[in-house]
Amino acid sequence: MPEIIRIKGLELRFLQSKDDTSGSLDMFEMTVEPNARVPVPHHHESWDETVYGLSGVITFRIDGQDVALGPGETAFIRRGVIHGFRNDTQEPAICLCVLSPGVLGPGYFREMAALLADGPPDPAKLKETMLRHGLAPAPPA
């Protein structure tokens, strides 16, 4: 049964993880509600990310360019490339995310959900958690 993790307007439904695939990939369905709290722009050095739109429209900012991803459309995010995302619409957006190789797993998202559960988060703890799991926040623009 898939694991579901909810983080302030985001829902991740893990379908495969690094543990299930011997590190080959992580795969999860992500629902992004309108005005959801989304991660800060970041990059990762150890994996590539492919995103496939299932419903609604989610806007990814990849290497300084906005890419609106609708149903049936894909985006590839090379490791090391700064990216982020948002839902600018009034409808939920759903996409399938595949990280390869699988080195992140659901543990990162569980930790972030716990940090964001009660009141304003501690920015230092958020950054430390990101870095420990291989995500590097982008410097402020």
pLDDT at 1 over 80: no
Across 55-81, average pLDDT: 96
Asked, for residue 26, whether it belongs to a domain, the answer is: yes
Query: Is residue 119 scored above 80 in pLDDT?
Result: no
Q: Is 38 exposed, middle or buried (0-12, 13-18, 19+ CB in 10 A)?
A: middle
Give yes or no for residue 39 having a pLDDT over 90: no
Mean residue pLDDT of the chain comes to: 94
Distances (CA, A) of 72 to 42, 51, 78: 25, 10, 20
| 94-118 tens-digit pLDDT | 999 999 999 999 999 999 999 988 8
Residue 140 lies in a domain: no
45 belongs to a structural domain = yes
Report yes or no on whether pTM surpasses 0.85.
Answer: yes
pLDDT of residue 91: 96
Cβ-count burial 3-35 (b if 16+ within 10 Å, e if not): eebebeebbbbbbbbbeeeeeebbbbbbbbbee
pLDDT recorded at residue 35: 84
Number of folded domains that form the chain:
1
The whole domain housing 95 covers 3-135
Instruction: With cut-offs at 50, 70 and 90, classify the pLDDT of residue 141.
Output: low
Whether residue 141 is contained in a domain is answered as no
36 contacts: CB under 8 Å, gap ≥ 6: 8, 9, 10, 86, 87
21 occurs within a structural domain? yes
Residue at 122 is within a domain: yes
For position 2, what pLDDT does the model report?
A: 85
Work out the average pLDDT over 35-54: 92
Q: What is the CATH number of the domain that holds 32?
A: 2.60.120.10
Residue 80 in any domain: the answer is yes
Share of the chain above pLDDT 90, in %: 85
Instruction: With respect to residue 101, please indicate whether it lies within any of the assigned structural domains.
Output: yes
Residues 62-90 have a mean pLDDT of 96
Q: Please check the confidence at residue 37 and state whether its pLDDT lies above 80.
A: no
